[in-house]
Amino acid sequence: MSVVIGLTGGIGSGKSTVSGLFKALNVSVIDADVVARQVVAKGQMALKKIHDYFGPDILIEGELNRPKLREIIFADPEKKNWLNKLLHPLIREQMLTQLADAKGDYVILEAPLLFENKLETYCDYVVVVDIDEQVQVKRASARDNNSIEQIKAIINSQIERQLRLQKANFVIENSTISLLQLEKSVIALDKQLRALQ
């Protein structure tokens, strides 16, 4: 099995951009958010169970009504707990299968909540994309069209920046650099990661 590199960072840190730069270097990237969508796709058993539990309003044309589900589980911790118990094992199993099937010197597991969901236990090393909080709030609110208060609430629900940095093996600093400089950082890190065999 390839060396597994966890890739994480707070909201608006540029994690997806970094992940895209790794993909451009022919590195396999398993995205936890994509896997989470796959397990509740049309025709999946998990979607049927969600439909049975939450009722027909939870679907739109056979697809999961994500905004409606989000609304329900934020208002009801018991329902959120039920959903987590259903989905977390399925997501983990699917991620581990994809990680085992990945080829190359190393594979990246991209997860915004890597530490919060204890996914670092599946990683040999962790890369954190780090960003100054003021820049983070500005970027994330511009990108997602969310209020600054909403972005700050999301930041506060994630692991503290200092703790995330303490847990990192490698850090990509992304507060003030251009895309070209970011690309150079990723290319340099790629060389280091390939040498970890």
Q: Is 13 annotated as a binding residue?
A: yes
Q: Is 55 annotated as a binding residue?
A: no
- Cα–Cα distances (Å) from 181 to 159, 171, 178, 196, in that order, read 27, 14, 5, 23
Q: Hey, is 158 helix, strand or coil?
A: coil
Structure tokens belonging to residue 153: 């609430």
SS (H, E, C) 44-111: CHHHHHHHHHHCHHHEECCEECHHHHHHHHHHCHHHHHHHHHHHHHHHHHHHHHHHHHCCCCEEEEEC
Q: Is 19 annotated as a binding residue?
A: no
Beta strands in the chain (DSSP E): 3-8, 28-31, 59-60, 63-64, 106-110, 125-130, 170-173
Q: Is 12 annotated as a binding residue?
A: yes
Q: Is 42 annotated as a binding residue?
A: no
Q: Is 97 annotated as a binding residue?
A: no
Residue 191 burial (CB count, 10 A): 9
Instruction: State the binding site for ATP.
Output: 12-17
Annotated binding site: 12-17
